[in-house]
Amino acid sequence: MSADVIAGPDGTDRCAWVGDDAEYRRYHDEEWGRPLHGDRALFEKMSLEGFQAGLSWITILRKRPRFRDVFDGFDPGAVAGYGDEDVERLMADAGIVRNRAKIEATISNARIVVDMDAGELDALLWSFAPASARPRPASFADVPATTAESDALSKALKKRGFRFVGSTTMYALMQSAGMVDDHVAGCWRAR
């Protein structure tokens, strides 16, 4: 077994980034790399990936239930209606990442989403998924931080006014939403 794959307590070989954390194992096995669709679900994923910028994903994953509570389940219509009092409410909530720029970007992004037609966010994001699958990464060294597709997605979103949608953040979104499959060779999900 390579250093890029780790056997879990259940004997299952997984991508080594999972480590020995039970929540990471669940996320890896049930969510990461599985195709995700729907404007609301993808708005949540985009928002959480933006909050993750500069932090570890496990921090966001552990705070995700509280994020969902305080952001009305990431309903774009509800979040789009947030005002200054909501920003202050969110800034005071220790259960989430209290970063004013990221909170304001989430609200601003929600306003853009509600101005889109139903299904348009889903279609837009998925239009940047690679047309064909890349070769399975043999190791984490083979997994890029950005790609031409994530660069183009980031540019298209920024052109529409979205914030906290840099290429690295969008590649993380593409991975987590199953637009690309970066489970390394040897991981049970790579089979």
Catalytic status, residue 57: yes
Instruction: Report how far residue 84's alpha carbon sits from residue 87's, in angstroms, rounded to the nearest whole number.
Output: 5
171 is an active site residue: no
Q: Which of 32, 49, 82, 149 is catalytic?
A: 49
To the question of whether residue 37 is assigned a binding role by annotation, the answer is no
Judge whether 63 is annotated as a binding position.
no
Looking at the DSSP bridge assignments, the partners of residue 14 are 6
Task: Tell me which residue of 169, 156, 152, 162 sits closest to 110, measured CA to CA.
Answer: 162
Per DSSP, the three-state class of 33 is coil
Burial of 173 (0-12, 13-18, 19+ CB in 10 A): buried
Element (H, E) at 14: strand 13-15
Phi, psi values for residue 3, rounded to 5°: -70, -10
Q: Which position among 27, 104, 126, 188 bears the catalytic label?
A: 27
Query: Is residue 49 among the annotated active site residues?
Result: yes
| List 57, 104, 126, 188, catalytic entry | 57
Which tokens is 150 given? 């994530």
**Residues that constitute the known binding site:** 15, 28, 183, 187
Which active-site residues does the annotation give?
27, 49, 57
**Residues that constitute the known binding site for Zn(2+):** 15, 28, 183, 187
